[in-house]
Chains A and B, each alone.
Chain A
Amino acid sequence: MTQPKPEPDVPVAAGAAEVATVPGVAVVHGGGVRREALHFAVRNRKLVGGFVVVLVFLLAALVGPLFASGDPNAYVGPAAAAPSGEYWFGTTTFGQDVFAQFLHGLRASFFVGVVAALIAGVLGMVIGFTSGYRGGLVDEVLNMITNIVLVLPVLAVLMIIAAYLEVRDVQVQAVIIGLFSWPWVARAVRSQTLTLRAREFVDLAKLSGMPVRRIIFREIAPNMASYLFMVFILLFGGSVLFAATLDFIGLGPTEGTSLGLMLNQAKQWSAMNLGLWWWFIPPGLGITTIVGALYLMNVGLDEVFNPKLRET
């Protein structure tokens, strides 16, 4: 559930406050470091390790359901069987294959993570960037909206919306999570934009009569790309956790399966009291591993882009 913290809103411009915090959104210093970044990226164990883990799970999510075809909720095996050669993760109290559910659940989790992160990322970027670049009244209004949504407890809002939805599916879930996760991105992008805007190369571009759009795409966007990539990773992890939480309290998709829904089912059918540990361990472990790997990637990236943090 850990959500990255944006730069704090303090009344004074503070050096310390601009530094990234858990799990570290770094401030990118300078431009034209891409080749150097790549050099360090492939040598960064955290980044590579996290990336490999995420990739393995992603592949499992994409390819797995093809092999474990058919309805993951179908009753295929004996009831409540412990893990075995035939059913790797055992079966549920109805005889559903936990491994098949896990593969399909991964797919749902990745879907929610990616879509929600894209929505939140784009929203946050547009709002934050507009706010920071245009300044004035626009900034004032957008900043106000950002602050309002930022203070609203996201999960509570999601709960109340999801509770009213008649039909809930993974798509809707991804959208509502995306719609309420952007404010810290907007804030961070805004302050990034403010610093970049003040840089000489932007001034130069302005003086040379470049249109605004070109300034944005040619000069500012590339400088923020690495930063946005990290934001996306964090949004991804956060969305996966949000979705799992909603699923767990019974506000998940009404059809299909997901890792959070598996936990919800395991709880509703007393897996813990009946000793069916193989029902609730895999989905939680899956979420933890994916999110942990994403955070690890983020630290790795942080170190890549921020030379001061590199291991010596």
Chain B
Amino acid sequence: MGRYFGRKLAIYALTFVVAVTINWLIPRFMPGDPVRAMVARAGLQDPAGVAAMREYYTSLFGFDLPWWQQYLNFWGELLRGNFGVSLWAYPKSVGSIILAAVPYTLGLLLPAILLSWWAGNKFGAYAARKKVLDNAVLPIWYVLTATPYMWLAILLAWAFGKVAGLFPVGRSFSASLEPSFSWLFISDLISHWFLPFLSLFLVAFGGWAIGMRNLIIYELEADYAHYLGALGAPQRLVRRYAFRNAVLPQVTGLALQLGVIIGGAVVTEIVFDYRGLGYLVLEAIKTSDLFLLQGIFLFIVIGVLVANFIIDVVYVLVDPRTRVGMGSGS
């Protein structure tokens, strides 16, 4: 078991190194000079002033060092939690900007992922046993899982926000409010949160439900299920076994879907003008703030790696075979 986790951690560490290297490498091969961008914004006319300012920003961004030193510094800064300075919100640090946005993204993502997974498994398993229901809901699930996140988001915003006027569209909470522990603020927060959450939830839900439904059908057709049935075991018991077995690939699936659903959150936030990481991505792209984009990228990678590791642990805890293996191994 220790070897298993060791291997996993090694892969995650390597992934991180690769991600950081990609991150460091790309700006140095691509056009667009952030120093020049900063200087241009200042609108200085005097050549001496331009030169002085260029020098200042060049050293601020560390572009005046040999490349290997830049790479090492990059790592050094990173390990100290320093993601650099944002051009978009100069002179704020990328780290502080991301940290302020992360709660909103997590607030959308965690409930959407966990609830859609939970509900998808329940409904999927349920549908697998009821032929009529299965035929009715399966097409809906397929439509949901094939829907681009941003399109569903636009449809919901349009139908419930614009046409029906049930929910506000835009921002994470009203601009007239200060965050406080009051019913006014909390209800405002929830009303802004609901539609983006719903659109993330629905698309993901479709996928999980189909997955569970298929897995349960496989399981019920498996030899052990028939064997149990032949032995006269009650259907409920068979189904419980089937569900337990089927849930395992769904746990692993969770890890693999993380990247995709984060992408979904990015576009959903853009549609709803929700002030999380997705909105930062858009701003970083629009203003060519590559430092911010890199920071978000690394942050997402770190988040995905951590989540993967948590899922690995959960998997080991859930899977009866590995539990046994652990017991006998130690």
Contacts and interface: CB of A to CB of B under 8 A. Distances in A.
Interface of A: 1-3, 5-12, 14-17, 19-24, 144, 147-148, 150-157, 159-161, 163-166, 184, 237, 241, 244-245, 248-251, 260, 263, 266-267, 272-273, 275, 277, 280-281, 283-285, 287-292, 294-296, 299, 302, 308-309
B218 A308 contact: yes
Contacts of B271: 267
A272 B260 contact: no
Contact of B294 (A160, A272, A302): A160
Given A11-B325, A248-B150, A16 B262 contact: no
A291 B146 contact: yes
Contacts of B210: 22-24
Contacts of B281: 159, 249
Interface of B: 1, 4, 11-12, 14-15, 18-19, 22-23, 26-27, 29-32, 142-143, 145-152, 154-155, 157-158, 162, 203, 206-208, 210-211, 214-215, 217-219, 221-222, 245-246, 248-253, 256-264, 266-267, 270-271, 281-282, 284-286, 288, 290, 293-294, 296-297, 300-301, 304-305, 308, 315-316, 319, 321-322, 325
A182 to B, nearest CB: 14
A152 B11 CA distance: 11
B149 A12 contact: no
A245 B150 contact: yes
Nearest to B162: A272
A156 B263 contact: yes
**Candidate in A14, A148, A250, A260 with the most chain B CB atoms within 10 angstroms:** A148
A22 B293 CA distance: 32
Contact of A5 (B27, B148, B256): B256
A165 B30 contact: yes
Contacts of A237: 146
B26 A160 contact: yes
Given A166-B32, A245-B150, A284-B155, 10 more contacts: A8-B249, A14-B319, A20-B218, A23-B145, A148-B14, A160-B294, A165-B30, A249-B282, A277-B158, A287-B147
B267 A184 contact: no
Contact of B249 (A16, A250, A296): A16
A148 B16 CA distance: 9
A284 B151 contact: yes
Nearest to A50: B142
Nearest to A260: B148
A180 B45 CA distance: 45
Given A2-B146, A147-B11, A263 B260 contact: no
B30 A164 contact: yes
Contacts of B157: 272
Contacts of A156: 259, 262-263, 296-297, 300-301
A245 B263 CA distance: 8
Given A153-B301, A245-B150, A1 B203 contact: yes
B214 A11 contact: no
A32 B263 CA distance: 41
**Candidate in B151, B222, B251 with the most chain A CB atoms within 10 angstroms:** B151
A309 B221 CA distance: 8
A249 B266 contact: yes
A20 to B, nearest CB: 7
A309 B210 CA distance: 14
Given A17-B248, A155-B259, A244 B23 contact: no
A258 B305 CA distance: 33
A159 B305 contact: no
Contacts of B215: 16, 19, 21
B248 A8 contact: yes
Nearest to B19: A152
A166 B15 contact: no
A250 B270 CA distance: 11
A283 to B, nearest CB: 8
A263 B152 CA distance: 12
Nearest to B262: A153
B150 A160 contact: no
Contacts of A148: 11, 14-15, 18
B259 A153 contact: yes
A21 B211 contact: yes
A-B residue pairs, 4 tightest by C-beta: A8-B252, A284-B151, A153-B259, A155-B263
A90 B195 CA distance: 28
A309 B293 CA distance: 45
Nearest to A264: B150
Given A1-B203, A21-B214, A292-B143, A151 B248 contact: no
Given A15-B222, A16-B249, A159 B267 contact: no
Given A8-B253, A277-B158, A309-B217, A161 B301 contact: no
A249 B215 CA distance: 35
A16 B221 CA distance: 12
A5 B149 contact: no
Contacts of A263: 148, 150-151, 154
Contacts of B211: 5, 21-23
Contacts of B22: 157, 160
A160 B260 contact: no
A3 B18 contact: no
A130 B222 CA distance: 31
23 contacts: A2-B207, A3-B260, A5-B252, A12-B321, A16-B218, A16-B245, A17-B248, A19-B219, A19-B249, A23-B142, A148-B18, A152-B301, A155-B260, A156-B296, A159-B297, A160-B22, A163-B293, A164-B32, A166-B31, A266-B154, A283-B151, A287-B147, A287-B148
